Amino acid sequence: MSHPIQAAEFLQDQAKSKWHDETLWFVRDKRDKISKSVPEWENLRDLASQIKDNVLANLGKYLEEFEKNAKANNIHVHWAKDAEEHNRIVLGILQEKRCKAIVKSKSILTEECHLNPYLEKNGVEVVDTDLGERIVQFLNQAPSHIVLPAIHLKKKDISEIFHEKLHTEKGNEDPDYLTHAARIHLREKFLSAKVAITGVNFGVAETGEFVVCTNEGNADMGVHLADVHIACMGIEKIIPKRAHLGVFLRLLARSATGQSVTNYTSHFRSPSPGKEIHIVLVDNGRTAQLARPKFKNSLKCIRCGACMNTCPIYRRSGGFSYESTVPGPIGSILSPGIDLQKHSSLPFASTLCGSCTDVCPVKINIHEQLYEWRQEITKAQPDRAKSLAMKIANGVFAVPFAYNLSGNMMRGALKILPDSITYSGLNTWGKQRDLPELPKESFKDWYKKNRK
């Protein structure tokens, strides 16, 4: 289904969609406030962008350096060309350890690879331990936002599913109470898991270490209690030097949630005595994206979610409307590279206002890439450009007389047309919005009168 159809479904519940819009804008506002408290904020964005440029220009070299150093630190390094191989590698480790139940902290990559259903099909119980992810897992849903997985849900929804799954009091919607219930439930899981899976925020070539950021401490609860830690990392997550963490960590949490740093920033360099760390380096379309000069910059993304929080379309359409693992503006430039046919409506789910580009901590030109994808898609799917309205517009804009006449006609028509027609399904621009009040005359007429 295309984005506009899904978005219309999200907008059915007006109160909830309004809350979604306002809540994400509140997060965006927190990001603004805290970024302005750092005088060198714009320098940091430039530095981060330049470091990532260097990474993309030397990706192979840094990956080999990372592998060499990680191996020297007793970390097992695996390479996966695609999602299927990634899943097979993870399952292979679990089978070797005779492990039937794992805990997993937030990893967008494992969502992208659909690891959970794969493991479940092979008899492994997967417990997502980030609170928001556990909530959506109970509901058999995917996260709707990469940083705030359950932002599409209200506490009433969460209370209901917790009552069913965790036997909390019916109707008790208190976030403290519900979080405490999840704490007790997940503590059991942490204590019994032999293998823990995490994502990776940054891999450092120079040291062979990798860094994981959380506020809940769930990644660490999992891996330090388990015997085996499997970390799944997209190859673009590599950075050259440890000192570069200083730049990225100053940007990441401030951009994501408006906090100065996550409460836990864990650097994994080698396993504890008697334990194992495995890292799976995954391509899954990243090298193909690297080979597209117009779109390779999308690989600079550090997954902060700021572009989602600021996007007027994302806020009013919800994460599910994108039907891609990474939703929002950045998802709309990443996903067409993976499956152009499936995601062809996404680059059009944007006003091209450029707000995403303005907040991006690594200065990805998101709105320009959205525009570029539109060109690609229109070339690949010429039917898209042949709607009747576009054909008429094409004719009208080409002939000055027709343009003037149609302007006069519309100003007249919109005044006398009843709302039932103006806001009928025939007029896409009348959906979910009021049309602006119309001026009595065109700018051209006004100019003629006033500037003789």
**Interface with other proteins in residues 186-245 (CB under 8 A):** 186-187, 190-191, 206-207, 209, 215-218, 220-221, 224-225, 235, 240-245
Work out the angle at residue 51's Cα, subtended by the Cα atoms of residues 219 and 55, and round it to the nearest 5 degrees.
80
Q: Two tokens at 196?
A: 């823990």
> 132 or 203: whose CB is closer to other proteins?
132
Among 27, 99, 108, 196, binds other proteins (CB under 8 A): 27
Residue 71 touching other proteins (CB under 8 A): no
CA end-to-end span of the chain, whole Å? 54
Site string for other proteins, 104-143 (x = CB under 8 A): -------------------------xxxx--x--------
Rounded CA-CA distance 197/125 in Å is: 12
Q: How far is the CB of 233 from other proteins (least distance, A)?
A: 13
Q: Two tokens at 343?
A: 């995601």
Bridge partners of residue 77, in order along the sequence? 279
Residue 5 burial (CB count, 10 A): 10
Please count the residues of this chain forming the interface with other proteins, following the rule CB under 8 A. Answer: 93
Residues 73-92 that bind other proteins (CB under 8 A): 73, 79-81, 85
Near other proteins by CB under 8 A, which window of 40-48, 365-373, 405-413, 444-452? 40-48
- The three-state secondary structure class of 277 is strand
Q: How far is the CB of 241 from other proteins (least distance, A)?
A: 8
Residue 57 touching other proteins (CB under 8 A): yes
Residue 93 touching other proteins (CB under 8 A): no
Rounded CA-CA distance 343/124 in Å is: 31
Virtual torsion, Cα 136, 140, 145, 150, nearest 10 deg: -20
Residue 271 touching other proteins (CB under 8 A): yes
Residue 291 touching other proteins (CB under 8 A): yes
Name residues whose C-beta falls within 8 Å of residue 176's C-beta, 6 or more positions apart in sequence. none
Residue 179 touching other proteins (CB under 8 A): yes
Report whether 300 contacts 333 (CB < 8 A).
no
Q: How far is the CB of 413 from other proteins (least distance, A)?
A: 44
Rounded CA-CA distance 252/306 in Å is: 9
> 127 or 346: whose CB is closer to other proteins?
127
